[in-house]
């Protein structure tokens, strides 16, 4: 990089210090960096999409005997796909955070249209 005419001395001087497993900063961007900010922005955006998904389930689903709102994957897919094409990814994130429950590891359009998604 020292021979590269497009590399500045400032960039070479601010080369990040390598961290090791077990270190609290391992696998994380430098504090205050643009990468850290992009990660925070992405996390916030996905959180908003999860909230929107839950509100759609609440609106389109039916309340069961247990008091939880449920909807089939097919119905949710048809409703939500007009908002975002990331239905399954957002559902997986919502399940990871304990907001929804459904059977199986992954949901596939057509094959899993009858799978019931329950809002917790």
Quickly list DSSP for 38-49.
Answer: HHHHHHHHHHHH
Comparing 22-36, 40-54, 101-115, the range with the smallest average pLDDT is: 22-36
Residue identified by tokens 């850290």 is: 36
* Helix residue spans in 9-33 (DSSP H): 9-13
* Domain 34-119, CATH among 3.40.50.300, 3.90.120.10, 1.10.10.1540, 3.40.50.2300: 1.10.10.1540
- 39-63 per-position pLDDT tens digit: 999 999 999 999 999 999 999 999 9
In this predicted structure, the answer to whether residue 14 has a pLDDT above a threshold of 70 is: no
CB 104 within 8 A of CB 112: yes
Report if pTM > 0.75.
Answer: no
- 57-89 per-position pLDDT tens digit: 999 999 989 899 999 999 999 888 777 778 889
Using a 10 angstrom Cβ sphere, with 0-12 exposed, 13-18 middle and 19 or more buried, the burial of residue 105 is exposed
Q: How do beta strands 100-101 and 62-63 pair?
A: unpaired
Q: How do beta strands 62-63 and 69-72 pair?
A: antiparallel
């Amino acid at each position: 990089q020292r021979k590269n005419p497009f590399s500045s001395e400032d960039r070479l001087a601010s080369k990040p210090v390598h961290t090791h497993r077990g270190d609290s900063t391992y696998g994380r961007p430098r504090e205050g960096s643009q990468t850290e900010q992009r990660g925070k922005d992405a996390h916030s955006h996905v959180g908003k999409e999860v909230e929107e998904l839950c509100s759609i389930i609440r609106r389109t689903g039916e309340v069961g005997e247990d008091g939880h709102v449920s909807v089939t994957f097919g119905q949710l897919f048809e409703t939500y796909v007009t908002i975002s094409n990331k239905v399954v990814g957002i559902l997986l994130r919502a399940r990871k955070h304990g907001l929804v429950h459904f059977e199986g590891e992954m949901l596939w359009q057509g094959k899993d249209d009858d799978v019931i998604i329950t809002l917790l």
